[in-house]
Amino acid sequence: SGINAEYGWEHITTFHAFNMIQSTKTHKKYMLTGPHRNYAAIIDTSRYIYIYNCAKDSDFGKLLVMTLDHDDSEILGACPLKDKLVLITEKNFITINFTL
Protein backbone atom coordinates (compact mmCIF):
# COMPACT_ATOMS: atom_id res chain seq x y z
CA SER A 1 0.00 0.00 0.00
CA GLY A 2 3.00 2.32 0.31
CA ILE A 3 2.19 3.35 3.90
CA ASN A 4 4.79 2.72 6.59
CA ALA A 5 2.82 1.17 9.46
CA GLU A 6 5.28 2.21 12.16
CA TYR A 7 5.48 5.90 11.23
CA GLY A 8 2.42 6.47 9.06
CA TRP A 9 4.47 7.73 6.10
CA GLU A 10 3.19 7.24 2.59
CA HIS A 11 5.31 7.10 -0.58
CA ILE A 12 3.70 9.47 -3.08
CA THR A 13 6.29 10.22 -5.77
CA THR A 14 9.74 9.41 -7.10
CA PHE A 15 12.25 11.71 -8.77
CA HIS A 16 14.34 9.36 -10.94
CA ALA A 17 18.11 9.89 -10.58
CA PHE A 18 17.63 12.71 -8.05
CA ASN A 19 19.71 10.82 -5.50
CA MET A 20 22.71 10.94 -7.83
CA ILE A 21 22.29 14.68 -8.24
CA GLN A 22 21.86 15.48 -4.55
CA SER A 23 24.76 13.27 -3.49
CA THR A 24 27.22 15.52 -5.34
CA LYS A 25 26.02 18.71 -3.65
CA THR A 26 28.29 19.04 -0.62
CA HIS A 27 27.03 22.46 0.54
CA LYS A 28 23.29 21.76 0.41
CA LYS A 29 21.20 23.45 3.05
CA TYR A 30 17.63 22.76 1.87
CA MET A 31 16.06 20.00 -0.21
CA LEU A 32 12.39 20.46 -1.00
CA THR A 33 9.68 19.70 -3.52
CA GLY A 34 7.10 21.87 -5.19
CA PRO A 35 3.57 21.76 -3.77
CA HIS A 36 2.38 19.57 -6.68
CA ARG A 37 5.55 17.44 -6.58
CA ASN A 38 6.40 18.68 -10.07
CA TYR A 39 10.01 19.48 -9.14
CA ALA A 40 12.63 19.02 -6.46
CA ALA A 41 15.07 21.74 -5.44
CA ILE A 42 18.41 21.80 -3.71
CA ILE A 43 19.53 25.09 -2.23
CA ASP A 44 23.05 25.43 -0.98
CA THR A 45 24.29 27.64 1.82
CA SER A 46 24.98 30.73 -0.24
CA ARG A 47 24.58 31.02 -4.01
CA TYR A 48 23.53 27.95 -5.95
CA ILE A 49 20.02 26.70 -6.66
CA TYR A 50 19.39 23.38 -8.42
CA ILE A 51 15.88 22.64 -9.68
CA TYR A 52 15.19 19.14 -10.98
CA ASN A 53 12.19 17.86 -12.88
CA CYS A 54 11.54 14.37 -14.18
CA ALA A 55 8.36 13.62 -16.07
CA LYS A 56 6.47 10.66 -14.63
CA ASP A 57 6.67 8.76 -17.94
CA SER A 58 10.41 9.32 -18.46
CA ASP A 59 13.68 8.23 -16.93
CA PHE A 60 15.30 11.50 -17.98
CA GLY A 61 14.94 14.83 -16.24
CA LYS A 62 15.85 18.48 -16.56
CA LEU A 63 18.21 20.19 -14.18
CA LEU A 64 18.20 23.97 -13.92
CA VAL A 65 21.21 25.48 -12.20
CA MET A 66 21.04 29.07 -11.02
CA THR A 67 23.57 31.29 -9.34
CA LEU A 68 22.41 34.20 -7.22
CA ASP A 69 24.16 37.52 -7.64
CA HIS A 70 27.00 37.70 -5.18
CA ASP A 71 25.75 39.61 -2.14
CA ASP A 72 27.65 37.69 0.57
CA SER A 73 24.50 36.82 2.47
CA GLU A 74 23.48 33.37 3.64
CA ILE A 75 20.21 31.81 2.49
CA LEU A 76 18.10 31.57 5.64
CA GLY A 77 14.91 30.03 4.30
CA ALA A 78 13.05 28.85 1.22
CA CYS A 79 9.42 28.40 0.23
CA PRO A 80 8.55 26.28 -2.83
CA LEU A 81 5.56 27.39 -4.90
CA LYS A 82 4.08 25.93 -8.11
CA ASP A 83 6.52 27.51 -10.58
CA LYS A 84 8.76 29.62 -8.37
CA LEU A 85 10.92 29.58 -5.28
CA VAL A 86 10.96 32.30 -2.67
CA LEU A 87 14.25 32.63 -0.81
CA ILE A 88 15.06 34.64 2.28
CA THR A 89 18.62 35.87 2.76
CA GLU A 90 20.12 38.05 5.44
CA LYS A 91 19.50 41.06 3.20
CA ASN A 92 16.70 40.24 0.73
CA PHE A 93 13.61 38.31 -0.28
CA ILE A 94 14.29 36.74 -3.68
CA THR A 95 11.68 35.26 -6.01
CA ILE A 96 12.92 32.85 -8.68
CA ASN A 97 10.44 32.16 -11.49
CA PHE A 98 11.17 29.19 -13.73
CA THR A 99 9.67 26.96 -16.40
CA LEU A 100 10.50 23.28 -16.66
- b/e burial code for range 65-91 (CB count within 10 A of at least 16 → b): eeebeeeeeebeebebeeeebebebee
The average confidence (pLDDT) of the chain is 84
Specify the pLDDT at position 11. 79
**pTM for this entry:** 0.80
Q: What does DSSP assign to residue 13?
A: -
Confidence class for position 4, pLDDT limits 50, 70, 90: low
Residues 18-28: tens digit of each pLDDT: 888 888 888 89
Element (H, E) at 20: helix 18-23
Q: Does the structure show a pLDDT above 90 at 10?
A: no
In the chain, the DSSP E strands lie at 28-33, 40-44, 48-54, 61-67, 75-80, 84-89, 93-97
